[in-house]
Amino acid sequence: MYSHTYIIEVEHRDYNIYAIKFYLKSHRYSDNRYSLTLNQNQKDKNHSGAKNFLIILNTMMSLTKDILIKDSKASFGFIGAPIFSEMDFELNNDNINNDGTYKNTKRFRIYKAFVLRYFSPQRFEHIQFINSSAYLIRNKKNTLLTKQVSEEQLNDYLSNG
């Protein structure tokens, strides 16, 4: 069985937004670290890598709970980085934006399905930015974080990182 170490980054941004990112430790020096996946040599022959992915998602859920204990107005955001086939202009031309972002990526769709199950619509508003594969789980206690402010924050994030 292979043992992989992942790095999870939680970036605290304005308006109590916490951007959550993760990547394989062995990819930490790559400019594409958020897009890289396990290669065939890194995968356990008994599973596809889905087990690691679920462990990461569950760890991220645990982190969000910890953050909410410390910051009751915390909202969470993520961008579903494209996999390499989605970055290929010839294969995915219609989903590559002029600004270098990617529409409706596979990771975006998977993360969306996951968070819809765990963040109640009574406590959180789910704001999707499909054209940039970004997602915001807005805490309804956070009245300063409107949809317009969310869009401004996303644009700032995409422009400045």
β-strand partners of 12: 18
Is the pLDDT reported for residue 130 higher than 70? Answer: yes
Q: Which one has a higher pLDDT value, 34 or 62?
A: 62
* Domain assignment of residue 96, yes or no: yes
Inside any domain, residue 1: no
Classified as helix, coil or strand, 30 is coil
Answer yes or no: is 129 within a domain: yes
Confirm whether 24 is domain-assigned.
Answer: yes
Domain enclosing residue 105, as ranges: 6-160
Query: Quick check: is 92 in a domain?
Result: yes
The pLDDT confidence band at residue 1, using thresholds 50, 70 and 90, is very low
Q: Is residue 136 part of a domain?
A: yes
* C-alpha to C-alpha distance for 153 and 89, rounded to whole angstroms: 27
> Could you tell me which of 65, 56, 57 has the C-alpha nearest to residue 24?
56
For residues 56 and 9, give the distance between their C-alpha atoms in angstroms, rounded to a whole number.
Answer: 12
Rounded mean pLDDT of 120-126? Answer: 94
Count how many domains the chain has.
1
User: Domain for residue 131, yes or no?
Assistant: yes
Residue 45 makes CB contacts below 8 A (sequence gap 6+) with none
